[in-house]
Structure 1
Amino acid sequence: MHREGRPPERLTSRSPQSGDRAREITRGFLRETEPNASRADVDAVLLGVSELVSNAVRHAGGVTDFRLDSRDGGVLVEVSDASVRRPRTVQINPSVPGGFGWLLVRELATDVTVTLHPGEGKTIRASFPLRSAA
């Protein structure tokens, strides 16, 4: 995984099909690329990744591509699926579980874009800040 003692800056993974697996992959990536990131920021990235992957599995038949890219001061998360439907924010009903995922991602990330690929699906890109804990 390391070349010349340097951690990876980009990871393209076999597409995780659960939020748990996506968190595991992301946690390992951040440990290698951003070892000094604050715990709160890492937790926000892990929550965002989990929600993006869970939504792709639940609403779009699964993840078709998953990428992590370490950038100055943060990480870019890309999750692709086979649905051409844009995510939508739903009115939250406290008596019904769920419905918070897309709202959480938009709240935690500094930038979120949705790119439709006609006949193929979509890619959601979310940028998350990573400040140093020290």
Structure 2
Amino acid sequence: MNPPTADTADGPAPRSAGSPAAVSAPCSAAEARRQVCALLQQAGVGLDSVTAADALLVTSELVTNAIRHGGGLTCFRTEIMGEALLVDVSDTSPHVPTTRAAAPAQPGGFGWPLIQRLAARVDVRRHSRGKTITTVLRLA
């Protein structure tokens, strides 16, 4: 897996030709997962597969982190490109996620390392409106 990168692009990167992408800001992680499920089904990925479970877990963590820690979700985009699922999540915070040390008095902190472990690639782009995190998950 490639480590996350950060740059100062002006927003979500344009995409080349691929399957139709879902672009909207869901109000919850559950709604985002429904969108990813629909896209995976269109791509012929079984929803009972490990691949789908990983994609849904990464989606949940990204959206939940944007809502809880990023000042709110501003954009959510998914797309199948070749044999990969791209998930873009934007929020209003310019702060790049970090991994924190586990502390009994402070629960949580497992989402970002989990995203990095499950995704083939994670990129963080800061821009004038906050940041966009893009993950690439292999489908095959």
Who is 1:109 aligned against? 119
Who is 1:44 aligned against? 54
RCO higher in structure (CA 8 A, sep ≥6): 2
Identity %: 37
Measured at CA, do residues 94 and 60 of structure 1 come closer, stay the same or move farther in structure 2, by a change above 3 Å? Answer: same
Q: Is the 8 A contact 1:17 1:62 kept in 2?
A: no
**CA-to-aligned-CA distance 1:58-89 (integer Å, 9 cap, x gap):** 01121111111101221111001111111111
Q: Is the 8 A contact 2:40 2:46 kept in 1?
A: no
**CA-to-aligned-CA distance 1:94-125 (integer Å, 9 cap, x gap):** 5643111111100000000000003x111000
Match of 1:126 among 94, 112, 135: 135
Q: Is the 8 A contact 2:46 2:52 kept in 1?
A: no
Who is 2:10 aligned against? none
CA RMSD of aligned residues (A): 1.8
5+ residue gaps, structure 1, are: 1-7
Who is 2:92 aligned against? 82
5+ residue gaps, structure 2, are: 1-17
Question: What is the TM-score when the length of structure 1 is the normalising length?
Answer: 0.83
Question: What is the TM-score when the length of structure 2 is the normalising length?
Answer: 0.80
Q: Which runs of 4+ in 1 moved over 6 A?
A: none
Who is 1:5 aligned against? none
